[in-house]
Amino acid sequence: MLRAVLLGPPGAGKGTQAVKLVDKYQVPHISTGDIFRKNISEGTELGVKAKSYIDAGKLVPDELTCEIVTSRLLEDDCANGFLLDGFPRTIFQADKLDQFLKENGMKLDIVINLSVPSEQIISRLSGRRICRSCGASYNIVTIPPKKEGVCDRCGGELYQRKDDAPETVASRLKTYDEQTAPLVDYYKNTGVLADFDGTKDAEAIFGDIVQTIG
């Protein structure tokens, strides 16, 4: 049983840790970014709504995002826990999540905050490549795949996210500073925040997180 949130700026390594954590704790990985990207590629109504915000490096409106997450959390596979990745991203969303959990007799075990200095974020994002099939994350400089353009885990094709382009990255970082960074204090005040040094290598960070979860 694990009910957890992954917090941190874009490119902090949330996706990388998420893959490892859901494998160890056997809980569903709920990434709002992945949900939006899937809907965009399938051309759904939600995808159409979300695309313009994502392409501009802005947040998808709170009400819409919260609705997606709360209905996902009500699915059977979340009964024994979940890992939220990229949600909440605003105080409004955090309040909604808190209210939802209370109403359903649940509470968060941990909010995993990955800290990475902003000067490192830009190079991390520009080198990031994602697997089209399984969502695994690589970096052509720091965590290259064994074979260029091919996922080590599943052999899928690696691609660069459109919003990892330099002009969108600046806007995403501003959005993070203004709207998401305040969540660090928000969760510090509730006593569930655990800070991790996101500049360490992925295995070491994972070890630190697992030790803290206990």
Q: Which residues bind ligand AMP (CB under 6 A)?
A: 10, 32-33, 36, 53-54, 58-60, 65, 86-89, 93, 163, 172
| Contact call for residues 169 and 126 (beta carbons, < 8 A) | yes
CB of 139 to ligand AMP, least distance (A): 15
Whether 188 is catalytic is: no
Q: Which is nearer to ligand AMP, 174 or 207 (CB)?
A: 174
Give me the DSSP letters along 144-203. --SBTTB-TTT-PBEE--GGGSHHHHHHHHHHIIIIITHHHHHHHHHT-EEEEETTS-HH
Whether 14 is catalytic is: yes
Q: Give 110's strand partners.
A: 4
Give CA–CA dist 86/9, Å, rounded.
9
Q: Which is nearer to ligand AMP, 147 or 178 (CB)?
A: 178
Give CA–CA dist 186/198, Å, rounded.
20
CB of 121 to ligand AMP, least distance (A): 12
CB of 213 to ligand AMP, least distance (A): 22
Whether 153 is catalytic is: no
Q: Which tokens go with 37? A: 């990207």
DSSP reduced 3-state for 122: helix
> Catalytic pick from 14, 37, 96, 124?
14
Q: Which tokens go with 74? A: 């009500």
Whether 129 is catalytic is: no
> Catalytic pick from 38, 161, 188, 200?
161
Residue nearest to ligand AMP (CB): 33
Q: Which is nearer to ligand AMP, 180 or 206 (CB)?
A: 180
> Catalytic pick from 89, 96, 124, 129?
89
Whether 89 is catalytic is: yes
> Catalytic pick from 3, 37, 124, 172?
172
CB of 56 to ligand AMP, least distance (A): 8
Q: Which is nearer to ligand AMP, 39 or 205 (CB)?
A: 39
Measure the CA dihedral 7/63/191/113, to 10°. Answer: 0
Closest CA to 176 of 6, 3, 5, 10: 10
Q: Which is nearer to ligand AMP, 88 or 198 (CB)?
A: 88
Catalytically active residues are 14, 89, 128, 161, 172
